[in-house]
Amino acid sequence: MAAVREELPQGRYGRSADERADRRLKILGAVLGTGMIAMTGWFGYDYIAGQSISAEVIKFDVVDGAREVQVHLEVRKDAGATGTCTVRALAEDGAEVGRLDARIDDAGTDRIDRVVTIRTTREATAAELKGCTAA
């Protein structure tokens, strides 16, 4: 009896189906990975470049005996940009007791220090900056 070979000689008839599938998966993975990296970079750039006004609360002071909070804001913006920054006052239980949309329209400067006063419905214990939007 003669021995019967079940497999083709290795390397004689090109790549096997498994090797072709592996190559396709590697190419597909590389294309998708490159696309995801490019998309993440685009979204990051758009987020950073799209914000022409940003701010932060330097300090706040709750005025004793009055229902108001004075908030010191430091605003950074493009020299010609205008917009508004929303600041809110919070009570001890976390409820919002006051809100103010401070208009930022100082043209020609890129950094502004401003103290704004928020009138409240009851005594506040904290103040926070909700965000700024360009006009």
The pLDDT assigned to 10 comes to: 67
Cβ atoms of residues 85 and 105 within 8 Å: no
Assess whether pLDDT exceeds 80 at residue 49. no
Q: Which is more confident, 47 or 11? A: 47
Q: Identify the top-confidence range among 7-21, 26-40, 43-57.
A: 26-40
Sign of CA dihedral 20, 26, 30, 36: positive
Q: What is the pTM of this model?
A: 0.62
Please give the average per-residue pLDDT across 30-44, as a whole number.
95
The pLDDT assigned to 2 comes to: 65
User: Mind listing the pLDDT tens digit for each residue in 79-114?
Assistant: 888 889 999 999 999 999 999 999 988 878 889 999
How far is CA 95 from each of CA 2, 71, 92, 122, 125, rounded to the nearest angstrom?
Answer: 90, 18, 7, 10, 10
For the ranges 12-26, 91-105, 118-132, which has the lowest average pLDDT? Answer: 12-26
Assess whether pLDDT exceeds 80 at residue 34. yes
Look up residue 77 and give its amino acid.
K
